[in-house]
Chain A
Amino acid sequence: MDYIPSIGLEVHVQLRTRSKLFCGCGTRYGAEPNSQVCPVCLGYPGTLPVVNREAVRLTVVTGLMVGSEISPYSKFDRKSYFYPDMPKNFQISQYDRPLCLGGAVAIDVEGASRPIPLKRIHLEEDTAKNTHFEGFSGVDFNRAGVPLMEIVSEPEMHSPEEAFAFLQALKEILLYAGVSDCNLEQGNVRCDVNCSVRPAGSKALGVKTEIKNRNTFREVLHALRHEIARQVGVLEAGGAVGQETLRWDVAAGVTVGMRSKEYAHDYRYFPEPDLLPVALPRAWVEDWRAALPEPPRARRARLAREYGLPEYDAGVLTADPRSADFFEAAARLSPNPKAVSNWIMTEMQRLLAERSLAPSDARITPRALADLVALVDGGTLGSTGAREVFAVLFAEGGDPARIVAERGMAQVSDAGEMGALADRVIAENEAAAADYRKGKQAALQRLVGQVMRLSGGRANPRVVAGLLRERLK
């Protein structure tokens, strides 16, 4: 029998603010444990939270990017639970009046585009970070109170690949809107996954399980593949899937039940009396809407159209708005946008990945890249030399023409100098020369290689091949 999975995601995104959601403590990652805390985020009695306006703005901007309705009236609620990472014994979140309702994220799977509808987007505070030791745990409150935006999708993804595509599309939108750094290694994006399966043809959704707290998209993909197969196996064997919360064991590649489920959750939501409701003035929302950036999908289509790029190039370049910005700045200065795109997609991405750098860390300027393309197109630089110059520009910056001049890297096309080398190579390689004269084309390449070697790699191989052919007629 065929089974249809239904997958819903709850994505927690750390917003890009300088201070926490309800107090002025900093949000810098990697600070000494418990060094960015105060009585508010430590949950001391008698303290009062005050909402960070920027966190509200970033949440609303996200909602506007995905077409949510912005609530005219929103409030905060207490979500009660008892855990060492939450010293107040409640988390300030939003229950029935989130900042944003509805909206959708469009995904592309197997060539077709489909909007995945969203339920809501709300704002809440992060909890402290737990570290586990043998027999005890340690708690660092630096993360407690950091603003988290929770984006909840409808359960309308039907394969692990669609869930993966959703997360990638969402990340692009968040990066474009500048609302989060989306640094997965630093846990900026964490994901709870709901999943059920039902027999094809059946209308009612199956019993769902929840997989908690995944922080890479690959983990979501792998956990879902495993969990869907597990649920189908249970149903095929005549069993029933139990509603439970699971943990993905990365090392073992299996989902396991979480023991905390022994206590059924009863969050006892109620309005946070220490915070006042939010009723955003229309003018603010309209100002924010007017300042929205071009969405990634629109930009992808525009890059393909305006610069004549293949869809593939446009997709790679727009995955990170900083790459797309760099491309556009360079392409506007160059008559050959495709060559500019090639450099960014290959050498630049490779060097950035090798050194774990962000596009803004590279020293090369758009002007320098455009000039480099011109040097190649004009025949001054060959491909090997160009890569060398690019590496220098990437690490140190500078002007490509000057680098070429300083290092004597310009290709030599001068017939006199190259002709002398060609004569010498023919004299020293009689066998190869004879082979070529007998019609062996491959022999010519050997001779070209020799001339290149003697020129220290500076010879223009096309010119050399022509000179050799002339001499071997």
Chain B
Amino acid sequence: MTSEEGRGADAAAIDVAYVARLARIDLTPEEQARFQRQLDEVVAYVRKIREPDTSGIEPTAHAVAVRNVFRDDAPRPGLDRGEVMANAPAVVQGLFRVPQIVE
């Protein structure tokens, strides 16, 4: 892990072209421009949260003041295989068939 790996969360704006490439989504130039405009508006709206003075307040990872929620290590049956594979676009030997994964 390096520091630049986490930079997305702090970036002031959203670079739609870059995010689309990471997510492997093909956007037309028109879509890219439209989403960029929309997301810029969303970010501008959310940016209001920077207005209150938060100096001296400890950062938190969660809005709920609850900790240590665990479950016991007890296995229980999952989904029926037929049900699981019903959503697969294609199946091969009981596996979800996907485009070739390259290393």
Contact = CB atoms under 8 A, between A and B. Distances in A.
Interface of A: 17-19, 23-27, 32-39, 41-42, 50-56, 75, 80-85, 89, 95, 97, 130-133, 135-141, 247, 258-260, 263, 265-271, 273, 275-281
B96 A34 contact: yes
Nearest to B63: A273
Contacts of A37: 78-79, 84
B62 A276 contact: yes
Contact of A130 (B9, B78, B101): B101
A89 B23 contact: yes
A137 B99 contact: yes
Nearest to B25: A82
B103 A260 contact: yes
Interface in B28-65: 61-64
A136 B97 contact: yes
Contacts of A276: 62, 64, 66-69
A24 B78 CA distance: 8
Interface of A is mostly: loop
A39 B62 CA distance: 24
Nearest to A53: B70
Contact of B103 (A26, A56, A139, A247): A247
B96 A139 contact: yes
A263 B61 contact: no
Interface string B70-81: 111111101101
B93 A33 contact: yes
A267 B7 CA distance: 9
Interface in B75-103: 75-76, 78-79, 81, 84-85, 92-103
Interface in B2-27: 4-9, 18, 21-24
7 contacts: A23-B78, A25-B76, A136-B92, A259-B103, A267-B5, A276-B68, A277-B61
Contact of A34 (B70, B72, B74, B94): B94
B68 A36 contact: no
A138 B95 contact: yes
A50 B62 contact: no
Given A137-B100, A139-B95, A26 B69 contact: no
Contacts of A275: 69
A138 B102 contact: no
A263 B94 contact: no
Contact of B102 (A32, A75, A95, A260): A260
Nearest to A268: B8
Q: State the 6 A-B residue pairs at the shortest beta-carbon distance, nearest first.
A: A138-B95, A54-B73, A53-B70, A268-B8, A38-B78, A33-B94
A131 B70 contact: no
Contact of A52 (B6, B7, B71): B71
Given A34-B95, A89-B23, A276-B62, A269 B75 contact: no
Contacts of A42: 79, 84
Given A53-B70, A266-B8, 4 more contacts: A33-B94, A34-B81, A138-B92, A141-B84
Contact of A56 (B6, B70, B92, B96): B70
Contacts of B4: 266
A406 B97 CA distance: 60
A34 B69 contact: no
A265 B93 CA distance: 32
B101 to A, nearest CB: 4
B73 A18 contact: yes
B24 to A, nearest CB: 5
A265 B73 CA distance: 33
Contacts of B78: 23-26, 35-38, 41
Contacts of A138: 92-93, 95-98
B69 A24 contact: no
Given A37-B84, A260-B102, A82 B71 contact: no
Contact of B70 (A52, A75, A266): A52
A423 to B, nearest CB: 72
A128 to B, nearest CB: 8
Contacts of A133: 92
Nearest to A89: B23
A52 B72 CA distance: 6
Contact of A35 (B9, B75, B81, B96): B81
Nearest to A26: B75
B101 A50 contact: no
Contacts of A75: 61-62
Contacts of A51: 69-71
Nearest to B90: A136
A56 B1 CA distance: 22
A24 B84 CA distance: 16
